[in-house]
Amino acid sequence: MKVANFYPGPSRVYSNITEYIYEAYMDGIMSVNHRSEDFMNLMELTKKELREKLQIPADYEIAFISSATENWEIIAQSLTQKASQHFYNGAFGEKWASYAGKLTSTINTHFGINEELPTGDIAKKADVLCVTQNETSNATQVSMKSLKMLREENVGKIIAVDVTSSLGGVKLDFTLADVWYASVQKCLGLPAGMGVMILSPFAVQTAEKIGERDHYNSLLNILENTRKNQTQYTPNVLGIYLLYKTQQATKGIDYIESKLEKRMEEYVSFVDAQDQINYLITNEKVRSRTVLALETSRMEELKSGAKEQSIILGNGYGPWKSSTFRVANFPAIKNKEVEKLMEFLRSFTGVSAR
């Protein structure tokens, strides 16, 4: 029986990946020199597709790095002058704050999982504000409305946003922040092994003003290379090619977001219709649209039943590890797989299909 994978990353890849890998092998992409004209053409085309399909502003820079996690280091090294302030309510935002604290001065602002971003609680010392827009560990999100408030109240500060579980699945207003970063194994539907960094003109100007060049991944080195359609290290050329091909095949972020919203509405209708599976996040305003965290008192029974049906559910994470399970709502997941999951959940809870 074919497995339906709802793990929230790494997760299901786009079904035409095998075709693209074969094409890459036959066309010599896997062996291409990363300083060659062929590679530079590929990188240029990939950035063009991302800019068009995700609606990234023309004056924002796009760079490819090793992972989303590498951004923690880059931001601390190349963009932080005094201190970074980290707003988090879950494990990944906390890990970012912890790592940054080893490299620079940090101010940590923790808020509850059902609370909105505390935009009024800004430290004067902080010149970089760090936000996890979609916290995968507990399935919360920060709305564009909250980011807009943060932006309007903090002109002159760098705003950096982790969008690892939303880039490619949620329409983002890139003008509201200066650094946006993600990895490719979630909403972008690719195998793990590459990160994407998107930079505003203000972030570029700040990096140039600071002038930090002490590391191989100093932001100025990254910028110099990406402007030449190159990278500062030997990149995941196959990953870049797969990103180009999959983005080329998509219908754009408006279509994708609409599709995922409809799926989320189906999940919400199911949860609201029964009392055996409940939301971890009760405040709908801060509930993620790409990852759903759910609670049940019948966790072991649920997991074993799902496994028997060849359905992979995400475990809970951090303090919610044993009490919740997570469901990815990523673009690469097929409609028939969603229906398979819904049939299982209806059978598990005794809810009839509408």
Task: Please check the confidence at residue 354 and state whether its pLDDT lies above 60.
Answer: no
Q: What is the mean pLDDT of residues 103-130?
A: 97
User: Tell me: the pLDDT tens digits for 191-243?
Assistant: 999 999 999 999 999 999 999 999 999 999 999 999 999 999 999 999 999 99
pLDDT for the residue 1 = 64
Structure tokens at 216: 């191989």
What percent of the chain stands above pLDDT 90?
Answer: 97
CA angle at 287 for the pair 284 and 289, rounded to the nearest 5°: 115
DSSP per position, 221-272: HHHHHHTTT--SS---HHHHHHHHHHHHHS--HHHHHHHHHHHHHHHHHHHH
**E strands in 69-125:** 84-88, 106-110
Instruction: List the end-to-end C-alpha distance of the chain, in Å, as a whole number.
Output: 26
Q: Are the C-beta atoms of residues 169 and 256 closer than 8 Å to each other?
A: yes
Residue 309 reports pLDDT greater than 90: yes
pLDDT digits over 256-271, tens only? Answer: 999 999 999 999 999 9
* Side chain identity at residue 289, one-letter code: R
Whether 17-249 and 4-12+253-349 are alike in CATH topology: the answer is: no
The mean per-residue pLDDT over the stretch 320-348 comes to 97
What is the Cα–Cα distance from 111 to 88, expressed in whole angstroms? Answer: 6
Residue 353 confidence (pLDDT): 61
Candidate CATH numbers 3.30.565.10, 3.40.50.2300, 3.30.479.10, 3.40.640.10; the one for domain 17-249: 3.40.640.10
pLDDT at 2: 86
Q: Tell me: the pLDDT tens digits for 274-297?
A: 999 999 999 999 999 999 999 999
Question: What's the confidence (pLDDT) of residue 351?
Answer: 73
Task: Name the CATH architecture for the domain at 4-12+253-349.
Answer: Alpha-Beta Complex (3.90)
- Name the CA radius of gyration of the chain, rounded: 20
Q: What ranges do the domains of the chain cover?
A: 4-12+253-349, 17-249
Instruction: Give which of 78, 96, 81 is closest to 164, Cα–Cα.
Output: 96
